[in-house]
């Protein structure tokens, strides 16, 4: 398996699967094992479909048939037909046929992929050292729009090492943000600051990966300059804190920032006190307003199935 390969975490018929995004693959396909997990029966290849597909190694892989699957990405449902192959290295491959039909745009600099002209955006993930994962020590519920300091567990090899903790990219899809921090844990546990950006409480189970940790090069001059005067925390208990409105800039500065965001207060006819309260409210929640469509990934909070029996209309005049 290529360690630098790009994957995305999606749901195929409600089953969470890590799929390879492969621009070198002409067709999208799934393994026979995955098809069985999805409890699907393949449709035999038609005369206009290939009898086999050619792997990157040049080996011929017989086409067992096709299956129709619903792909769930950030609340968006994409129906698509996959080829079924027996000896497939990856359980699922998104090929050029799927990427082209969905208007996919791969941004390697930002490590993300968008579909349908930015309608939904999800993170690309790579295979990496699992010992770098930082996991929750206990299950907890973070209220909506609330910051939390939570205990996490680390691999023993990071003990007593000055390291950098950063957000684990897939957790972004759950409207969870994690603050980057420099830590030097003396045990296998430390703490992490997270925030629930959603409008509903978010439950996270013990063992959920939320961050990654990597050792810092203490011989680097830039790192030495940053670390001067820094403080690390060894242990903590889970605690919650509401987002504070302290240290809010003056009204004029708030209005200036909001106008840069796109707000227009030209025709605002409010008393001075109410205008200040309005600017405070908008400023403290400025992250809720998107700059463009790529910041509106959709929602997976409400899912439903529409059961249909055939193509005939339910009702006719």
What are the tens digits of pLDDT across the range 216-249? 877 777 667 767 754 444 444 454 444 445 568 8
The rounded distance, in Å, linking the Cα atoms of 49 and 54 is 13
In sequence order, the β-bridge partners of residue 224 are: none
Predicted confidence (pLDDT) per residue in 3-28, tens digit: 455 888 889 998 888 899 999 999 99
The rounded distance, in Å, linking the Cα atoms of 170 and 133 is 12
| Token pair recorded at residue 9 | 């975490």
Q: Tell me what pLDDT residue 240 has.
A: 47
The rounded distance, in Å, linking the Cα atoms of 218 and 163 is 10
The rounded distance, in Å, linking the Cα atoms of 91 and 238 is 38
Burial class (CB in 10 A: 0-12, 13-18, 19+), 60: exposed
Between 65 and 314, where is the model more confident? 65
Element (H, E) at 168: none
Q: Tell me what pLDDT residue 14 has.
A: 81
Q: How far out from the chain centre does Cα 71 lie?
A: 15
Q: Are strands 202-204 and 189-196 parallel, antiparallel or unpaired?
A: unpaired
Q: Tell me what pLDDT residue 58 has.
A: 80
The rounded distance, in Å, linking the Cα atoms of 80 and 69 is 6
Q: Minimal CA–CA distance to 232: which of 195, 192, 194?
A: 192
| Token pair recorded at residue 93 | 């491959």
Q: Minimal CA–CA distance to 31: which of 76, 90, 77?
A: 90
Q: Tell me what pLDDT residue 243 has.
A: 42
- The answer, yes or no, to whether residue 114 has pLDDT greater than 70, is yes
Hunting for tokens 């619903």 — which residue is that? 70
Report which DSSP code applies to 287.
G
For the chain, the first-to-last Cα distance in angstroms comes to 58
The rounded distance, in Å, linking the Cα atoms of 96 and 31 is 17
Task: Compute φ and ψ for 227, nearest 5 degrees.
Answer: -75, -15
- Per-residue CA distances from 290 to 130, 287, 297 (Å): 33, 7, 10
* DSSP SS3 for 259: helix
Q: Whats the size of the chain, residue-wise?
A: 317
Over residues 136-153, mean pLDDT: 90
Question: Quick count: other Cβ atoms within 10 Å of Cβ 4?
Answer: 7
Report which DSSP code applies to 249.
P
Predicted confidence (pLDDT) per residue in 245-283, tens digit: 556 888 889 889 888 888 888 888 888 888 888 888 888
118: left (phi over 0), alpha (psi -120 to 50) or beta: left
């Amino acid at each position: 398996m290529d360690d630098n390969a790009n994957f995305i975490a999606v749901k195929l018929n409600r089953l969470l699967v890590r799929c390879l995004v492969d621009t070198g693959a002409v067709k999208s396909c799934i393994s026979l094992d995955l098809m069985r997990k999805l409890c699907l029966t393949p449709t035999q290849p038609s005369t206009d479909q290939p009898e086999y597909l050619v792997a990157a190694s040049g080996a011929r892989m017989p086409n067992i048939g096709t299956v129709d699957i619903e792909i769930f990405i950030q609340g968006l449902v994409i129906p698509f037909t996959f080829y079924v192959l027996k000896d497939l290295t990856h359980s699922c491959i998104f090929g050029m046929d799927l990427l082209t039909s969905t208007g996919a745009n791969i941004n390697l600099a930002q490590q993300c992929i968008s579909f349908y002209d930015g309608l939904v955006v999800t993170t690309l993930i790579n295979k990496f050292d699992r010992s770098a994962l930082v996991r929750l020590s206990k299950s907890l519920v973070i209220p909506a729009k609330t910051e939390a300091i939570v205990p996490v567990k680390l691999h023993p090899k990071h003990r007593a090492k000055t390291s950098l903790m950063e957000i684990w990219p897939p957790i972004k899809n759950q409207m969870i943000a994690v603050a980057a921090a420099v830590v030097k844990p003396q045990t296998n546990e430390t703490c992490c600051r997270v925030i629930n950006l959603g409008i509903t409480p978010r439950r996270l189970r013990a063992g959920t990966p939320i961050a990654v940790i990597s050792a810092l090069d203490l011989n680097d001059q830039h790192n030495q300059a940053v670390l001067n005067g820094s403080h690390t925390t060894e242990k903590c208990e889970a605690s919650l804190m509401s987002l504070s409105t302290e240290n809010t800039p003056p009204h004029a500065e708030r209005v200036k920032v909001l106008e840069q965001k796109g707000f227009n207060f030209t025709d605002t006819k409010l008393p001075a006190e109410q205008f200040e309260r309005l600017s405070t409210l908008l400023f403290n929640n400025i992250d809720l307003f998107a700059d463009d469509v790529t910041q509106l990934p959709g929602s997976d909070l409400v899912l439903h199935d529409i059961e249909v029996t055939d193509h005939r209309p339910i009702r006719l005049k």
